[in-house]
Amino acid sequence: MKILFVAGEGLPFVKTGGLADVIGSLPKVLVKKGCDCRVVLPLYSHVIMDHYNELARLGTMSVRFGNAEQPATFYRGEDSGVTYYFIEHQGFFERDSLYGYYDDGERFAFFQRAALDMLSFLDWWPDIIHSNDWQSGMIPLLARNVYGGDERYRNIKHVYTIHNLAFQGNFSKDLLWSRLGIDDYYYNNGAVRFDDGISFMKSALVFADKITTVSPTYAREILTPGFGERMNEVLKYRQEDLCGIVNGIDTDNWNPLSDLRLAKNYSLRNYVSGKRENKKKLQEMLGLEVRSDVMVIGLVSRLTGQKGVYMITSGMHEMMRRNLQFVVLGTGERAAEDAFRSMENMYQGRMVYYSGYNEDLAHMIYAGCDVFLMPSMYEPCGISQMISQRYGTLPVVRETGGLSDTVMPYNEYTGEGNGFSFHGESSGNLMDVLDYVLRTYYDNPAGWRGLVHSAMKTDVSWNRSADAYLALYNSIIGN
């Protein structure tokens, strides 16, 4: 089976969010299962700086860009058996950031046109194009409408994955003809219209053969007004073609037994001593009191309302009355950052806020903490809770989206579970579950050990998810 993934970012080349993790992991696993998987990405400045010497220049062609033409140069790279293509356009992609520009609609209209033109340039024709998020949302309609005179394009089937419904690619309707070359008919009949403009994401929801999102619970949630970001009626119309497939993590990269960033490597067999050494190292690195007998809570996150951080900051004094230490790594909204800085000043030696992102520190938090906090207001899938499970650090999550699908709350009577969870949206709800976590940690060591065993034995790999995608692909190409 030949599959082309089209995305705005992807590891190991460039990342801003969870989409990149998926693009860096899923194709790699599908290749191991016998697929010919290829990925196409923009050639960003970040990629040029770090990987340009690894890429082969394939050539240049003119891309029809609505009522104009623009040159696209194609490059090729490889990682873990996956072929990566890059589309070069200096004016559009060689910038400081990936997204957030006034001309994002034009930039990614060009990217999608160039990605489809690339197929004829290469004379390589996939069975499936798997598009991801708004940056590739127009691909299914383009293939049918603009390129539909060529049977090779018409024969391609389309899968579209929503990684976060909140980011939709909504732009002026002028782009439809002037940049995409699509007839106004699709605006007038409402297929791509959103308010008084067009939506790249809505187009994919209407024209893809199948729609996926990154967890079964999120697939149900987005059918409701509360989570549907005003796309819920379109999604309900396509409900029969919508499914949720939970993400995995790259278990080669996230492996406490081989992780070079840790003070001591460990597995299920020796996790007690391994986590003790990593806790000590983490405390020393950050200026926390060096104590093996205190519960350490970690948070690695964007500091935004979506991530539930204001449940923490509004109850921070109540939280720090408990016998615990708290480590926060991340950046985000000014109010959240200021609150965590204030919290650090008031509770020196017990609480540390590291502003920014540090990969080495992130790995140490996953390994050195006892608990990982993730109280998201909504979370399509999330990967931090799965990383923490792999490292024997028990996740405490709010029950939503993929957090509900990946964290089974502890049942002290049966011993079942691989973490803790809670309902509600207040700091009081969070404190209630933290009190339960603290009681379990300090008063029920056997129960805690059982939980850590269950967490570390949880299958968080991409293997089962890749099988689910294969089944989906086969269902639409008739295998």
Do 2-248+463-477 and 271-457 share a fold?
yes
The answer to whether 46 and 78 are in contact (CB under 8 A) is no
| Torsion angle of C-alpha atoms 421, 425, 430, 436, degrees rounded to 10 | -50
Buried b (16+ CB within 10 A) or exposed e, 320-332: beeebbbbbbbeb
The answer to whether 179 and 129 are in contact (CB under 8 A) is no
Amino acid 479: pLDDT: 63
Region for 109 from its dihedrals, namely left if φ exceeds 0, alpha if ψ lies in -120 to 50, beta otherwise: alpha
Q: What CATH number matches the domain at 271-457, 3.90.1150.10, 3.20.20.70, 3.40.50.2000, 3.30.70.2740?
A: 3.40.50.2000
Buried b (16+ CB within 10 A) or exposed e, 222-253: bbeeebbbebbebbeebeebbebbbbbbbbee
Roughly what angle, to the nearest 10 degrees, separates helices 427-443 and 445-457?
110
The C-alpha atoms of residue 114 and residue 232 are separated, in whole angstroms, by: 30
The C-alpha atoms of residue 285 and residue 267 are separated, in whole angstroms, by: 23
Over residues 236-279, the pLDDT tens digits come to 999 999 999 999 999 999 999 999 999 999 999 999 999 999 99
Lowest-pLDDT range of 8-12, 15-19, 286-290: 15-19
Output helix, strand, coil percentages for the chain, rounded to the nearest 5.
40, 20, 35
Determine how many CB atoms are found less than 10 A away from the CB of residue 99. Answer: 16
Instruction: For residue 280, name the pLDDT band (cuts at 50, 70, 90).
Output: very high
The answer to whether 137 and 131 are in contact (CB under 8 A) is yes
Length of the chain: 479
Amino acid 246: pLDDT: 96
The answer to whether 269 and 278 are in contact (CB under 8 A) is no
In the structure encoding, which two tokens stand for residue 234, read together?
């379109």
The model's pTM is 0.92
Task: Order across the sheet with 197-199: list the strands.
Answer: 170-172, 197-199, 193-194
* Domain residue ranges of the chain, discontinuous segments joined by +: 2-248+463-477, 271-457
Amino acid 478: pLDDT: 80
| Mean of the per-residue pLDDT values of the chain | 96
Q: Under CATH, what is the fold of the domain 2-248+463-477?
A: Rossmann fold (3.40.50)
Burial class (CB in 10 A: 0-12, 13-18, 19+), 188: exposed
Over residues 31-57, the pLDDT tens digits come to 999 999 999 999 999 999 999 999 999
In the structure encoding, which two tokens stand for residue 327, read together?
């480590």
Amino acid 1: pLDDT: 95
> With 90 as the cut, is the pLDDT of residue 357 above it?
no
What single-letter amino acid sits at 370? D
Amino acid 425: pLDDT: 92
**CA-closest candidate to residue 358, choices 282, 446, 449, 462:** 282
Q: Which helix (H) or strand (E) holds 62?
A: strand 56-65
User: 3-class SS at 326?
Assistant: strand
